[in-house]
């Protein structure tokens, strides 16, 4: 039935098994994010006037293989308390329950589920976006370019703020603050 292995055969079999288990982890390289050069911003309209704001603190973890993008993965965690509209009073207001409810939901996150080659040299990214305790499936095009030793990942993701309960009560009225919000990101990494 079973034949007895020699110690040499057992070592070779174990070495082969370890290599096979390690290959998926080796395929996509973990990149280090340069926080000073990276940004996550949003654009929305208030009274039909475009408003830009930024998140001052976020953490992006990207494992990327340019030759096999389907093995790549990305996770982004955003610190909601770092949201900056450019005015301390406005910043304090959007932390309240009606907007981000930062006390209960201190982080927003994106976790990729699929990254694949897309049109015009871009990548198509699909994943789960969670804001204020609400999770939804999202997809967006991603541009990757190389500048020296750095890789730059750029994209824009349009969302509807009311889908995430951002703007409750009287703030559900979209005549004051539009429902459409575009999340823009530029993540600069080095190997």
CATH superfamily, with its number, for domain 29-190: Lipid/polyisoprenoid-binding, YceI-like (2.40.128.110)
| CA separation for the pair 63, 67 (Å, rounded) | 12
CB 189, CB 62: distance < 8 Å: yes
**CA triple 24-27-28, angle to 5 deg:** 110
State residue 119's pLDDT score.
Answer: 87
Please write the tens of the pLDDT for every residue from 157-179. 999 999 999 999 999 999 999 99
| CA separation for the pair 177, 159 (Å, rounded) | 14
Residues near 128 by beta carbon (within 8 Å), at least 6 away in sequence: 110, 111, 113, 135, 136, 137, 138
Nearest C-alpha neighbor of 183 from the set 94, 47, 76: 76
| CA separation for the pair 94, 88 (Å, rounded) | 10
State residue 134's pLDDT score.
Answer: 97
Please write the tens of the pLDDT for every residue from 78-112. 999 999 999 999 999 999 999 999 999 999 999 99
Please write the tens of the pLDDT for every residue from 29-58. 788 888 899 999 999 999 999 999 999 999
- Between the CA atoms of 171, 173, 177 and 181, what dihedral angle is there, to the nearest 10 degrees? 100
Please write the tens of the pLDDT for every residue from 127-136. 999 999 999 9
**Mean pLDDT confidence for 68-81:** 95
Residues near 4 by beta carbon (within 8 Å), at least 6 away in sequence: none
State residue 191's pLDDT score.
Answer: 65
pLDDT for 23 beyond 60: no
State residue 190's pLDDT score.
Answer: 80
């Amino acid at each position: 039935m079973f034949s007895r292995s020699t110690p040499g055969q057992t070592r070779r079999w174990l070495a082969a098994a370890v290599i096979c288990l390690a290959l998926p982890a080796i395929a996509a390289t973990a990149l280090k994010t340069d926080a000073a050069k990276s940004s996550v911003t949003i654009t929305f309209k208030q009274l039909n006037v475009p408003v830009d704001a930024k998140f001052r603190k976020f953490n992006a973890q990207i494992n990327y293989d340019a030759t096999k993008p389907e093995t790549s993965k990305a996770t982004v965690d955003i610190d909601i308390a770092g949201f900056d509209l450019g005015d301390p009073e406005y910043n304090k207001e959007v932390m309240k329950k009606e907007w981000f409810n930062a006390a209960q939901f201190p982080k927003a996150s994106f976790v990729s589920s699929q990254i694949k080659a897309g049109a015009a040299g871009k990548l198509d990214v699909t994943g789960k976006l969670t804001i204020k305790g609400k999770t939804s499936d999202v997809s967006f095009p991603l541009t990757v370019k190389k500048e020296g030793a750095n890789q730059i990942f750029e994209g824009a993701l349009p969302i509807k703020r009311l889908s995430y309960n951002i703007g409750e009560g009287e703030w559900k009225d979209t005549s004051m603050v539009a429902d459409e919000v575009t999340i823009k990101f530029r993540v600069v990494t080095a190997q």
